[in-house]
Structure 1
Amino acid sequence: MAITTDFVSAINQISAERGIDSTKVYEALEVALASAYKKEKDISLEAEVEINIDKETGEFRVVEIKEVVEKVEDKDTQISLKEAKKYDKSLEVGDKVEIQGEYDDFGRIAAQTAKQVVLQEIRNSEREAVMAEYEDKVGQVFTAMMQRMQRGRVLFEIGKAIAYMPLEEQIPNEFYRISQRYKVLLKEIIDEDGMKQLIVSRSDPKFLKELFVFEVPEIESGVIEIMSIAREPGSRSKIAVKSNQDGVDAIGSCVGQRGIRIANVMGELGEEKIDIIEWDEEIEQYIANALSPAKVISVEVNSKDKSALVVVADDQLSLAIGKDGQNVRLAHKLTNHKIDIEGESGKSVEVIKEEKEEDLKKDAQKREDFVEGKESAVETTDDESKSEKDTDKKAKSKSEKEVKTDKEDTDKNAKSKSENKPEKEDKDNKKKPKSKKKSSSKKKSESKTKEDSKKESESKKELNS
């Protein structure tokens, strides 16, 4: 039977346009048609069926392959010796015989199956082409758009490809918002369940290095070289740099004028702090630099077990160790030496604290809840709003009570004042008559003195006369 020439030419045209190998399409089509034939004829899946397609004419033939046996137990996979002799008289028990399959309206089934196979092959070939495009770009930084969270992993869209960021490659306490763009490092391409996947990272030290390469042209040109990086993502990092050209300050070039270069890098990483130190060939000086901002008095290095004893002033001991031992831990990663720190008085502190995997899982769960907006988050906000309303109501009722009590107090005071007022008035009234008496007696005494003086003057006049 033949597939129409138009259909064959369509397969060839699609393969050419999409860059698909037509041979792969025909091979997949033969497998799919064999499966469709078994389904149509209700044949066991274990039966051997081959379909051969002529790529020029479009003709194909169905062949059932059966084993020759004396007694048939499964008619789909076996044939009796007597029946097999009809096809070839030289056949014996144990041989294989090819029998041409029977088909009535297999052209329609072939067309539908071919359509599905072609579409699937197009998807597979496009995925392989995308993966092939990024195989040479592993280790580069891309700007990706966040799509969604999936079981703790963040899905990003990079061009036509979908990339995954596992939990261990995420920055702790960093929340990813849908449709927001982030810079990510293409760390590797892995093969999972027969499919290739892009793995990206924001916590890898190489990501920090690539950000500095982008911001500092001297690093890209080779004038400045990044020798080592120690990083605790989301918290703090240390970078050791050296200058390959006289007169070029490695640290100043990385910091930039007014700190603009390092500010751009830190802006991409959020709250992560970055210490830039100068690399030195002398391991003692290098270890002293790595422990900055603490000032080191002396360094004794044991090259056999790669350990160092560092002595600092007693007031510099906590600074050298850092919060939760972070400073000395980063210095150890940076220099690849085990570092013991002592104060001048012989004090020593042992500090090792690594981030637990449980904390990372909790952070990932928080991020997933934040992105997907789960009911638990909504319920908590509702509870908070309810509690706020209750507190407002309580405060309101409390204030009303206070106002009421204040009013009652003022009424009482006013009442007591009004009661006290008549008493005062009575007292005043009692006092007033006394004052009147005093004034009348005063007037009488004054009139008396006047009369006496008048009499005296009259008596004097009489004597004189």
Structure 2
Amino acid sequence: VLPSNEQMSNERYRIGQRLRVLMIEVAKTIKGPRVIVSRSHPDLVKRLFELEVPEVSNGTVEIKSIAREAGYRSKVAVAARQAGIDPVGCCVGLRGIRIQNIVTELSGEKIDVVQWNADPATFIAGALSPAQIIAVELKKTEGVATVIVPDRQLSLAIGKEGQNARLAAKLTGWKIDIKMASVWETERESAKPAIAEKIEAVEEEAELPAPMQPVGAAVEKAEAAVEEVTTEISEEEVVEEAEEEVTEAKPVIFEVPRPTRGELRFAEDIMGAPSRGEGKGKKKKKAAPSKEREGEAPPRPRKGGGRRQEIAIEDETDF
């Protein structure tokens, strides 16, 4: 069943005519299930693109959004999922063969293929094609886009009975306000004095002197600040002096124990044993004194030097 609200206003149907329709619902009735189809649904355009364009059917080119006024005009936003592919060229085809087949199926409905863009301003400018766009101003909080076009392009941007602007708003999801370039420039010039006045008011507020304080109060605050600084400095000096006293190390003096009375020491005991190599040549070192002799006194040196001579004593009896 094709209800009247799902039909295209410029079409006349006859018995036995073959049409491509979109099935939107299967309703249960007393007489059995009823299939409801549509010729004006936006998804019908999407299905026709999938049939005519292989890149859309295999997912290389994606249809992002569709805005349609059935029987008159449709706008389709497409994007490529692969680098190096022109999505608009794929949908239009060589010499427009692919898009022409879809137009013929929809009884001469005009179709605009637009390249989708993540930047809203660029996307809106493309959605208003074939009109030329000078600039796009976005108010994200309000969801309004102000589009500036040349004076001669205003009627083309709006379209017949506002159709082009209406479809662009549906396609992008933004409210579009189209203005001529001359009107936009006059509005900007009139807004400049107001902006200048605001800037002057802000500068005057900034130039106002700070509130003056009494001189006596200022002097008292300065003296209090000086006293605080002097007390802090004195405390720091005391801490530094204390640290210097602590860090000063006392000299360490090693006392040599004096020998007790009645005890003799050799020079070797005091100076230490001579190191190897001090002796001349290969002379053998003398054996160190044994522990038993360490406590004994050294032998007394003999008086008089030289060898003793034997003196013969003659017997007096010989004389």
Q: TM-score range by the shorter chain?
A: 0.5 to 0.7
- Structure 1 window deviating more from structure 2 (185-194 vs 239-248): it is 185-194
Match of 1:242 in 2: 79
Match of 2:271 in 1: none
Deviation at 1:267, TM superposition (A): 0.7
Larger strand fraction of residues: 1
Match of 2:162 in 1: 325
Taking the aligned partners of 1:344 and 1:231, their CA distance within structure 2 comes to 29
Taking the aligned partners of 1:193 and 1:318, their CA distance within structure 2 comes to 53
Match of 1:99 in 2: none
Match of 1:180 in 2: 17
- Pick one of 139, 145, 148 that aligns with 1:302: 139
State the Cα deviation string for residues 268-301 of structure 1 (Å, max 9, x = none). 0012100001000000100000000001111111
The 1:195–1:301 alpha-carbon spacing in structure 2 relative to 1, beyond 3 Å, is farther
State the Cα deviation string for residues 7-47 of structure 1 (Å, max 9, x = none). xxxxxxxxxxxxxxxxxxxxxxxxxxxxxxxxxxxxxxxxx
State the Cα deviation string for residues 127-183 of structure 1 (Å, max 9, x = none). xxxxxxxxxxxxxxxxxxxxxxxxxxxxxxxxxxxxx11111101120111111111
State the Cα deviation string for residues 198-235 of structure 1 (Å, max 9, x = none). 11001000000000000001011111000000000000
1:278 is the counterpart of 2:99: no
Deviation at 1:304, TM superposition (A): 2.2
Taking the aligned partners of 1:285 and 1:245, their CA distance within structure 2 comes to 20
The 1:221–1:192 alpha-carbon spacing in structure 2 relative to 1, beyond 3 Å, is same
Match of 2:4 in 1: 167
- Pick one of 204, 209, 214 that aligns with 2:46: 209
Taking the aligned partners of 1:205 and 1:305, their CA distance within structure 2 comes to 27
Taking the aligned partners of 1:192 and 1:239, their CA distance within structure 2 comes to 36
SS for the counterpart of 1:316 is helix
5 Å matches for 1:349-388? none
Taking the aligned partners of 1:260 and 1:271, their CA distance within structure 2 comes to 14
1:268 is the counterpart of 2:105: yes
Match of 1:382 in 2: none
Match of 1:232 in 2: 69
SS for the counterpart of 2:45 is helix
Structure 2, unpaired ranges of 5+: 185-319
Deviation at 1:195, TM superposition (A): 4.0
1:210 partner amino acid: R
- Pick one of 148, 161, 171 that aligns with 1:334: 171
TM-score (norm 2): 0.56
Taking the aligned partners of 1:307 and 1:279, their CA distance within structure 2 comes to 19
Match of 1:26 in 2: none
SS for the counterpart of 2:21 is strand
Structure 1, unpaired ranges of 5+: 1-163, 348-465
1:316 partner amino acid: Q
The 1:322–1:194 alpha-carbon spacing in structure 2 relative to 1, beyond 3 Å, is same
Taking the aligned partners of 1:213 and 1:227, their CA distance within structure 2 comes to 13
5 Å matches for 1:48-87? none
Taking the aligned partners of 1:323 and 1:202, their CA distance within structure 2 comes to 23
Taking the aligned partners of 1:168 and 1:335, their CA distance within structure 2 comes to 25
Report sequence identity in percent: 52
1:168 partner amino acid: N
The 1:337–1:193 alpha-carbon spacing in structure 2 relative to 1, beyond 3 Å, is farther
- Structure 1 window deviating more from structure 2 (335-344 vs 297-306): it is 297-306
1:246 partner amino acid: A
2:41 partner amino acid: D
**Count of residue pairs the alignment pairs up:** 184
Deviation at 1:345, TM superposition (A): 1.4
Match of 2:151 in 1: 314
2:84 partner amino acid: G
The 1:318–1:194 alpha-carbon spacing in structure 2 relative to 1, beyond 3 Å, is same
Taking the aligned partners of 1:295 and 1:193, their CA distance within structure 2 comes to 56
Larger helix fraction of residues: 1
Taking the aligned partners of 2:16 and 2:86, their CA distance within structure 1 comes to 40
Taking the aligned partners of 1:303 and 1:232, their CA distance within structure 2 comes to 27
| Greater gyration radius | 2
5 Å matches for 1:97-112? none
Taking the aligned partners of 2:141 and 2:21, their CA distance within structure 1 comes to 39
